[in-house]
């Protein structure tokens, strides 16, 4: 019986690994450097980096709700098609505006895939959900870890086009995996009844203060992540004079720390509670982000990157599990779609705000300001999400 539960989960993890490798190598570290070589300014680069994430604001919630209605597998396959096709469009880009258009299309893949894949994990595991989500996230983070390393090495010896060919190959592999079904589509009921149930579930989710505040906390975490992943490569290359392969190593080490920490942090949150872990992770990430402003040397950026990766793991290993526990079983996709939508607002805003701040004040003050924002987010989260909401969820 355990083996029957494990195999579908491994298939999902394999799909996630290739899909996220493909989406990450498209942007880290290639995207800001490619945009700069096309003539984009730092403010322009912020908007280009945000283009794919803005799509998530519009698409993640409908995708999660649609997966509650039609089943997870069909919706994930639609995302996998975009993962497989979008990378080859980068080969045609010759101007910054073209890069924006490709990023918008590519953003559909992660906007659909993210919340629906997590909802599928919630379907497969009622017990130990935090740990299971941590293992799934670690599988995707293996892809995130390898992507900047491979991308940096390719750029050291070849062109941007070579990076996007590798990106496309990984996207095709993501489409080729056979996916588990998860929650069955809601057959046997009139469409009007099913849609009414979905509207009721959505209304319940958006009225939940713990869900909304937790989603906002993750949004601020990804606000910082958007700023870091977009401008840390430029900071290291232009201010620190680091070679591209070292930048890829820093980004890869950061993501490896997240990947290795997530299952343990998920298990810890299953036992110790989600709320304290989320607060601890926000505080750790805030301190690490501010530390990037101490200097653009390799040792400082590496140590701060390792700390940031740990903080990211602590936060994100708990938020998805906490949100799913606040929702009734038939609304996991909707609840996680709300989480993903709000998170994407933060993720999209991060590079835009950071680009404008860097243009006005330079890199170091911007990293310090973003770190301070996460410190304030920690206080707000602990104030607005009472401990009782967690105990109620754990009893459900």
> How far is the C-alpha of 269 from the C-alpha of 311, rounded, in Å?
14
Output the CA angle 236-49-119, nearest 5 degrees.
115
Choice among 147-156, 227-236, 258-267 with the minimum mean pLDDT: 258-267
> How far is the C-alpha of 280 from the C-alpha of 307, rounded, in Å?
12
CA 77 to chain centre: 19
> How far is the C-alpha of 256 from the C-alpha of 21, rounded, in Å?
13
Choice among 20-29, 308-317, 326-335, 386-395 with the minimum mean pLDDT: 386-395
| Global pTM value | 0.76
As a whole number, mean pLDDT of residues 108-117 equals 91
Question: In sequence order, what are the residues at sequence separation of 6 or more whose Cβ sits closer than 8 angstroms to the Cβ of residue 3?
Answer: none
Polymer length in residues for the chain? 396
CA R_g for the chain:
20
pLDDT of residue 5: 46
Choice among 134-148, 295-309, 367-381 with the minimum mean pLDDT: 134-148
pLDDT at residue 3 greater than cutoff 50: no
As a whole number, mean pLDDT of residues 38-67 equals 88
pLDDT of residue 395: 43
> How far is the C-alpha of 381 from the C-alpha of 218, rounded, in Å?
10
DSSP string, 226-281: HHHHHHHHHIIIIIS---HHHHHHHHHHHHHHHHHHHHHHHHHHHHH-HHHHHHHH
Q: pLDDT for 58-102, tens place per residue?
A: 888 888 878 888 888 889 999 999 999 999 999 999 999 999 999
Q: Delineate the domains of the chain, giving CATH numbers in brackets.
A: 2-386 (1.20.1250.20)
- Residue labelled with tokens 């620190």: 240
* pLDDT above 70 coverage of the chain, percent: 89
CA dihedral angle for residue 14, residue 17, residue 19, residue 21, rounded to 10 degrees: -150
pLDDT of residue 2: 41
Mean of the per-residue pLDDT values for the chain? 87
- Label residue 182 by pLDDT band (50, 70, 90): low
As a whole number, mean pLDDT of residues 324-337 equals 72
- The tokens for 57 are 């604001």
pLDDT at residue 285 greater than cutoff 80: yes
pLDDT at residue 393 greater than cutoff 60: no
pLDDT of residue 113: 94
- The tokens for 311 are 């903080």
- Label residue 190 by pLDDT band (50, 70, 90): low
């Amino acid at each position: 019986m355990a083996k029957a539960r494990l195999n579908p989960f491994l298939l999902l993890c394999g799909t996630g690994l290739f899909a996220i490798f493909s989406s990450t190598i498209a942007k880290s570290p290639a995207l800001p450097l490619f945009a700069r070589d096309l003539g984009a300014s730092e403010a322009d680069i912020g908007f280009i980096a945000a283009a794919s994430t803005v799509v998530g604001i519009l698409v993640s919630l409908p995708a999660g709700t649609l997966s509650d209605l039609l089943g997870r597998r069909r919706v994930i396959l639609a995302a996998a098609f975009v993962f497989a096709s979008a990378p080859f469009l980068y080969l045609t880009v010759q101007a910054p505006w073209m890069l924006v258009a490709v990023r918008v299309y590519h953003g559909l893949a992660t906007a659909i895939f993210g919340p629906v894949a997590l909802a599928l994990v919630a379907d497969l595991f009622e017990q130990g959900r935090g740990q299971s989500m941590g293992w799934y996230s670690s599988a995707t983070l293996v892809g995130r870890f390898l992507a900047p390393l491979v991308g940096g090495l390719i750029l050291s010896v070849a062109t941007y086009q070579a990076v996007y060919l590798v990106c496309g190959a990984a996207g095709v592999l993501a489409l080729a995996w056979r996916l588990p079904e998860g929650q069955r589509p809601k057959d046997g009921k009139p469409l009007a009844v099913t849609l009414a149930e979905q509207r009721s579930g959505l209304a319940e989710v958006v009225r939940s203060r713990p869900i909304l505040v937790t989603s906002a906390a993750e949004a601020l975490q990804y606000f910082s992540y958007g700023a870091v992943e977009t401008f840390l490569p430029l900071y290291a290359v232009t201010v620190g004079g680091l070679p591209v392969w070292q930048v890829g190593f820093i980004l890869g080490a950061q993501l490896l720390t997240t990947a290795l920490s997530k299952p343990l942090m998920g298990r810890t949150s299953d036992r110790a509670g989600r709320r304290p872990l989320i607060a601890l992770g926000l505080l750790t990430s805030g301190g690490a982000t501010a530390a990037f402003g101490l200097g653009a040397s390799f040792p400082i950026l590496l140590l701060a990157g390792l700390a940031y990766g740990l903080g990211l793991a602590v936060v994100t290993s708990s938020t998805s599990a906490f949100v799913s526990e606040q929702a009734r079983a038939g609304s996991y996709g909707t609840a996680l779609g709300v989480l993903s939508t709000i998170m994407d607002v933060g993720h999209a805003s991060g590079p835009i705000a950071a680009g404008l701040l860097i243009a006005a004040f330079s890199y170091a003050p911007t990293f310090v300001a973003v770190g301070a924002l996460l410190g304030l987010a920690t206080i707000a989260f602990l104030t607005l999400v009472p401990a009782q909401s967690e105990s109620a969820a754990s009893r459900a």
